[in-house]
Amino acid sequence: MVSSDSKSNNDETLDYKGNPADMSKTGGWLAAGLILVTELSERIIVVGIAMNLVTYLQGQLHVRASDSANVVTNFMGSLNMFALFGGFIADAKLGRYMSIVTFASICALGVGILTIATTIPSFRPPPCDTSSPQKCIPATASQLAMLNIALYTIAFGAGGIKSNVSGFGSDQFDKSNPKEEKAMVYFFNRFYFGISLGSIFAVTVFVYIQDNVGRGWGYGIAGGTMVVAILLMLSGTSFYRYKKPQGSPLTVIWRVIFLAYKNRKLYHPDDPTYLNGYSSSKVPYTRRFRRLDKAALLDDNCKFTEEDKSNPWLVSNVTHVEEVKMVIKLMPIWSTNIYFWTVYSQMNTFSIQQAKIMNRKIGSSEVPAGSFATFLFASILLFTSINERVIVRLARKITRDPKGLRCLQRIGIGLVLAAMAMVAAAICETKRREMMVDHKIIISSYWLVPQFFLVGAGQAFCYVGQLEFFITEAPERMKSMSTGLFLSTLSMGFFVSTILVSLTTMFTHGSWLKSNLDQAKLENFYWMLAVIGVINVFYFLILASRHQYKTVHYGETSNSSDKDIEVQNIENNASGKGKEVV
């Protein structure tokens, strides 16, 4: 456990009894480690399911290629969207500890249902007649319904875990203590490294068990890991540091938008001092998105008492309005990040389908198709290490910037690598089809390694860059929501993949994305994604060149005043006048 020089703390940090926490007996690595076990189990379950679900849908439920891809992307998209709800519940009512325990239990329940759905024969259609595979009977609506109930129960539980584990883990370290602040930096590194190791375990051991021992055994063991994780989490109850729920920042956002719309007909004064709470604002006033200022206007026709002015449902204040403006400012960059996760989703779907019909043998053994994602996660681990030890140090010497690579630069590199991955995927599929159709030769599945490798390398840049961007550029008091905002790009990426697959199937009359890839034109779909990627990179570069980094410190406890404001322009454009993204 990380020691603290003082047993005291501010009143915001509590022990499990609700009293001010003794910092020498709570928190630290023991507490953080027990918390991270739930995220490790979540990764084993979700990655193990996502990377191998398409083979089950096609092989045993006889679902079409495009439909099975959409089942996987909708599952992953919903999971990350549920993360927003999980963060909202934790901030508004339950707190992070109870949220993790509750959602982990829901996730374990979902895995139990999935184990039943994939084990009992009545939940699957009969096997295909080997003499006439064209007459395979597809799964019925009720059989698919049971599978979907299981998947979305898992997605709901896993989303709630994802949105709270990193926050609750970081709560175990005190930023005011230099030793613990340093330990927290290592916590995030180990958190990311740990979930990557869990993902590798999922696509090797877990996928092997599914394919060679049985789906029921594979999912049952995964569910068991979550039960163990919950018990370990509960065992550390007295060791954790807790913080009271402060209310969800989503409520602040919707409230400001509602009041701005309600007051839309009010006259907007040129002098901002007329806005409610201007003199006591903890965030500097800006003139961008001025229509939102009306949420802080006092209607002359209404008589507001001093008590009414502090009621956020009657009139907002400049602090809340400016926080909402800061969130809106992030949205253009947010939109460009969706592309990366649309590409990533192809590694869960069509790339696995390609591997299934390619030569996967190593000697006398055959590698499971879902295990090819090992190259993706190995690439993530490799480039995560290379980034910090080589690329960042080299960038520091070239740019003389102590950070080496800015978060937007990391994102840009990731987006370029994602577009390159789709080019590699298109070339690979063109070669595979040519050799199979023209020469009846099944080429090695290791032709797929470049696309997995490039996406993994891109994620090492993009994931870290996106997470840093949304955390550092969001308002200080909306840090918990910023994680959900980041995860929503993952969600939208998977949903966009679903839309693109559906539209492609409709406009090409199914000729590009057939279940039989030898008769399909999957390479055209990959080329389309590559072209979209190039356009997205240029759009991102325009936005990034106009973005002005800001670090805002406010609302923190200090000896002087809670109203201390420090605004530092970290980066300006060449002219020295920072431009805003509108």
Query: Kindly report the CA angle at 70 between 46 and 359, in degrees rounded to 5?
Result: 75
Q: Who has greater pLDDT, 177 or 492?
A: 492
Is the pLDDT at 436 greater than 60, yes or no? yes
The domains located in the chain, with CATH, are 1-247 (1.20.1250.20), 249-321 (no CATH), 333-582 (1.20.1250.20)
Helices 65-89 and 28-50: crossing angle in degrees, nearest 10, is: 160
What is the Cα–Cα distance from 12 to 258, expressed in whole angstroms? Answer: 30
Q: How confident is the model at residue 42 (pLDDT cuts 50, 70, 90)?
A: very high
Q: How confident is the model at residue 1 (pLDDT cuts 50, 70, 90)?
A: very low
Cα radius of gyration rounded to whole Å, the chain: 26
Mean pLDDT, the chain, as a whole number? 82
pLDDT, residue 189, reads: 65
Q: How confident is the model at residue 403 (pLDDT cuts 50, 70, 90)?
A: low
Is the pLDDT at 185 greater than 70, yes or no? no
The 3-state secondary structure of 323-354 reads HHHHHHHHHHHHHHHHHHHHHHHHHHCHHHHH
pLDDT tens digits, one per residue of 259-318? 999 888 888 878 888 888 888 777 788 888 888 988 888 766 666 677 777 787 788 888
Q: How confident is the model at residue 553 (pLDDT cuts 50, 70, 90)?
A: very low
Is the pLDDT at 570 greater than 60, yes or no? no
With beta carbons less than 8 A apart as the criterion, state whether 505 and 513 touch: yes
pLDDT, residue 91, reads: 80
Scan for tokens 């990557």, then name that residue: 196
Is the pLDDT at 83 greater than 70, yes or no? yes
Q: What percent of the chain has pLDDT over 90?
A: 27
- The reported pTM is 0.76
pLDDT, residue 344, reads: 93
Out of 120-124, 397-401, 441-445, 461-465, pick the least confident: 397-401
pLDDT tens digits, one per residue of 186-196? 676 677 777 87
pLDDT tens digits, one per residue of 156-182? 999 999 888 888 888 888 877 777 776
- Mean pLDDT over residues 211-236, rounded? 91
Residue 166 structure tokens: 């990193």
The 3-state secondary structure of 491-505 reads HHHHHHHHHHHHHHH
Is the pLDDT at 555 greater than 70, yes or no? no
pLDDT tens digits, one per residue of 237-252? 998 999 887 777 778 8
Q: How confident is the model at residue 155 (pLDDT cuts 50, 70, 90)?
A: very high
Q: Who has greater pLDDT, 532 or 557?
A: 532
